[in-house]
């Protein structure tokens, strides 16, 4: 039985690879051209949505969930620890989100 609309396993692997590559490129260019880095993030998200993939948390925390800007800690992203939680604060759109602080990270 074939499920219509569901991508093949191989296609998903390629898509995931593509997403990883986009984030690597984004991290390389972020210091010089933040807008371009953001475009890589948007492209990566589009691929993820197309293939119904969830971005791994290590990639997710690299951009703002609100304005999709690629975030550079200390430059466009402020990270604070407050009541055993990490507070991420996007300096572009003033959006912030919390993350519980655990030993395993
Ligand atoms: Zn933002």
- Tens place of pLDDT for every residue, the chain, 105 residues? 555 666 688 999 999 999 999 999 999 999 999 999 999 999 999 999 999 999 998 999 899 999 999 999 899 999 999 999 999 999 999 999 998 887 654
- Please list the residues that pair with 79 across neighbouring strands: 88
Phi and psi at 82, nearest 5°, equal: -145, 120
Please give the Cα distance from 80 to 67 (Å, whole number): 20
Compute the distance from residue 15 Cα to the ligand 1 centre, in Å: 25
What is the reported pTM?
A: 0.82
User: What is the per-residue pLDDT for 8?
Assistant: 81
Residue 62 main-chain phi, psi, to 5 deg? -90, -5
CA of residue 70 to ligand 1 center, whole Å: 9
Q: Distance, CA 80 to ligand 1 centroid (Å)?
A: 16
Residue 87 forms beta bridges with which residues?
80, 98
- Could you give the maximum distance between any two Cα atoms of the chain, in Å? 51
């Amino acid at each position: 039985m074939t499920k219509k609309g569901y991508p093949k396993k191989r296609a998903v692997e390629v898509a995931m690879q593509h997403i990883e590559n986009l984030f690597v490129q984004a991290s390389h260019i972020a210091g010089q051209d933040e807008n371009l880095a953001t475009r890589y993030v948007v492209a990566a998200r589009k691929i993820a949505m197309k293939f119904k993939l969830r971005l791994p948390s290590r990639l997710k925390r690299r951009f703002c969930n609100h304005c999709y800007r690629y975030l550079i800690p200390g430059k466009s992203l402020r990270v604070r620890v407050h009541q055993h939680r990490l507070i991420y604060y996007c300096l572009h759109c003033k959006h912030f989100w919390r993350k519980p602080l655990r030993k395993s990270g």
